[in-house]
Amino acid sequence: MNPFWENDLVQTAAYYSVVVLCMIVFMSIFELVTRYKNWDEIQRGNLAVAMTTGGKIFGIANIFRFSIEQHNSLFEMIGWGCYGFFLMLLGYFIYEFLTPKFKIDEEIEKDNRAVGFISMVISVGLSYVIGSNI
């Protein structure tokens, strides 16, 4: 059975499946910590939410990309990917804290595209910094 698990196609399918599952879980966590409902707002055409959500999806995927590159086992990859997600979530709260003049979630919910764009860039940027360190 060992050669089966060492097959590149099997490993790719395993990593892919785990990352998709983690992405669903992590996006659900983001849904809980934001005041708006991502998919309802996107369905209404809220571009700021779409940019923010896209940045989060890219950020999570990018963190896992680095995790897959750096770690030899599926469990190490999951652990470091989860840690990277935690750091990205922490960055979200820091971003909210550093903008005391307005509430990030309220602005994004109002389709403030400037705030949505900055949120997207922060998620993408942090994913590179986090990823290079995991």
Per-residue model confidence (pLDDT) at position 12: 87
84: helix, strand or coil: helix
Structural domain range at position 28: 2-133
Which amino acid, one-letter code, is at 38?
A: N
For the stretch 99-128, what's the b/e string if a residue is b when 16 or more beta carbons lie within 10 angstroms of its beta carbon? Answer: eeeeebbebbbebbbebbebbbebbeebbe
Listed range (34-38, 43-47, 84-88) with the worst mean pLDDT: 34-38
Confidence of residue 76 (pLDDT cuts 50, 70, 90): very high
Determine contact, residues 112/48, Cβ cutoff 8 Å.
yes
Q: What is the dihedral of CA 134, 21, 28, 111, to 10 degrees?
A: 80
> What's the rounded mean pLDDT across residues 9-26?
92
Structurally, the chain folds into a number of domains equal to 1
